[in-house]
Amino acid sequence: MRLINICGARPNFMKIAPLMRAYREEPGIEPLLVHTGQHYDHKMSRLFFEELEIPRPDLNLEVGSGSHAQQTAVIMQRFEPVLLETGADAVLVVGDVNSTIACALVASKLGKAVFHVEAGLRSFDRSMPEEINRVLTDAISDLLFVSEPSGLDNLTREGTPADRIHFVGNVMIDTLERNRARAEDSHILADLGLASGTYGVITMHRPAAVDHPEIMAPLIQAFADIQRDLPLVFPVHPRTRARLTEAGLDRQIGELKNLRLIEPVGYLDFLKLMAHAALVLTDSGGMQEETTILGVPCLTLRENTERPVTLTRGTNELVGMDPARLLAGYRRIRQQPLRAADRPEKWDGQAARRIARILAEWRR
């Protein structure tokens, strides 16, 4: 089977890395890697290929940024001839970004098989672009690889035939487990003058928060309160950087002695930063899962999560975007940190192997 694997945005790279490695054990699979170019800064893309030893993409569609419709449409236009020319039999997509739905849709219309890794997750919040991407991608996928039990429940309830669904575990955790020891060699704590367990990490990039100064300003005020007690480091996503600058909020943050804005960092530095943090404040999807395995308390700045196992088995707590709830959550955690229960089922570093095995045996 000639299989095109799609990646495009930062959270895709951690998911694609273990898959590209696992295919080496399956001679029946001939993998190709296509990068859509949705993310393109060195620190949002290339750095991860180097650190995670992802093979150089066979092709980069170089779509860059744009509105949802523009970005999705350009990916589709550029991917269609590639799919035809390579004569691929199938396309594998991961996650929930625009590159995911765009390439799945092209493949499906050309009668190619579509495989979705991280299928079945639902926030039940259609105002999130990712939720639209998830629902649509799952609807046109031939095989749906599920990372946690809620994914099984959601797909079953939506009427997905059982023989298409495979509960395989979490490829993001494959990457975490593979790199955990290596990340300890990172010098990031020393470089930032931080000591283990004595600081917090922030990341935010969801449009629902960062595109609205009236939501961000009070949150930054809450960060200001927290940093008086616990130093905070905030690697800033490029969307967020642009919005903070537009709203003049970067200057306000600049006055806070213990809140450091830094550029996005590579996977190994970031893993070390998270692993040694007293807590993480984030709206990221993947980081809710990573902190669950690292046992680091995570306050998620959202009203919902498509990853409920991180609430029931992990260290995650939803605090929304209300500063009062965030501060109450912070005080609770400082008094009594959340402890993770047994790790979620099949989050054992072997998910990509299971997927490659199933693909090797798959016949339409």
Residue numbers at the binding site for ligand UD1 (CB under 6 A): 9-11, 38-41, 44, 65, 96-98, 129-130, 205, 237-239, 242
10 binds ligand UDP (CB under 6 A): yes
- Least Å distance between CB 355 and ligand UD1? 21
- Choose the stretch contacting ligand UDP; rule: CB under 6 A; options: 55-63, 106-114, 134-142, 282-290: 282-290
Structure tokens at 270: 């970031």
* Of residues 37 and 308, the one with the C-beta less far from ligand UD1: 37
* Residue 143 dihedral angles phi and psi, to the nearest 5°: -125, 135
308 binds ligand UDP (CB under 6 A): no
| Binding-site member from 31, 37, 286, 308 for ligand UDP (CB under 6 A) | 286
Closest by Cα among 87, 95, 89, 121 to 36: 95
Closest by Cα among 94, 90, 100 to 136: 100
DSSP assignment letter at 33:
E
Task: Give the Cα separation of 59 and 24 in Å (integer).
Answer: 20
Task: Give the Cα separation of 176 and 150 in Å (integer).
Answer: 21
- Please give the order of strands across the beta sheet that includes 90-94: 59-60, 30-35, 2-7, 90-94, 113-119, 143-146, 165-167
**271 Cα distance to chain centroid:** 13
| Binding-site member from 287, 293, 319, 321 for ligand UDP (CB under 6 A) | 287
**150 Cα distance to chain centroid:** 17
- Least Å distance between CB 350 and ligand UDP? 18
CA dihedral 327, 284, 208, 321 (to 10 degrees): -10
- Least Å distance between CB 360 and ligand UD1? 29
- Is 205 among the residues known to form the active site? yes
* Of residues 41 and 225, the one with the C-beta less far from ligand UD1: 41
The listed partner (ligand UD1, ligand UDP, none) that binds 39, CB under 5 to 8 Å by sort, is ligand UD1
| Binding-site member from 165, 224, 265, 280 for ligand UDP (CB under 6 A) | 265
The kind and range of the H/E element at 203 are strand 200-203
* Of residues 151 and 286, the one with the C-beta less far from ligand UDP: 286
The listed partner (ligand UDP, ligand UD1, none) that binds 40, CB under 5 to 8 Å by sort, is ligand UD1
Task: Give the Cα separation of 237 and 235 in Å (integer).
Answer: 7
- Least Å distance between CB 168 and ligand UDP? 18
| Binding-site member from 203, 227, 300, 350 for ligand UDP (CB under 6 A) | 203
The listed partner (ligand UDP, ligand UD1, none) that binds 267, CB under 5 to 8 Å by sort, is ligand UDP
235 binds ligand UDP (CB under 6 A): yes
Task: Give the Cα separation of 293 and 161 in Å (integer).
Answer: 31
285 binds ligand UDP (CB under 6 A): yes
The listed partner (ligand UD1, ligand UDP, none) that binds 41, CB under 5 to 8 Å by sort, is ligand UD1
- Least Å distance between CB 43 and ligand UDP? 8
Task: Give the Cα separation of 288 and 299 in Å (integer).
Answer: 9
* Residue 69 dihedral angles phi and psi, to the nearest 5°: -65, -45
Token pair 């059982």 is found at 162
* Of residues 83 and 233, the one with the C-beta less far from ligand UDP: 233
* Of residues 129 and 149, the one with the C-beta less far from ligand UD1: 129
23 binds ligand UDP (CB under 6 A): no
DSSP assignment letter at 25:
G
171 binds ligand UDP (CB under 6 A): no
Under 8 Å CB-to-CB from 21, ≥6 apart: which residues?
53, 352
The listed partner (ligand UD1, ligand UDP, none) that binds 287, CB under 5 to 8 Å by sort, is ligand UDP
Instruction: Locate the DSSP E strands across the chain.
Output: 2-7, 30-35, 59-60, 90-94, 113-119, 143-146, 165-167, 200-203, 232-235, 259-262, 279-282, 298-300, 316-318
Positions marked active-site: 205
Interacting residues with ligand UDP (CB under 6 A): 10-11, 14, 203, 235, 264-265, 267, 270, 284-287, 290
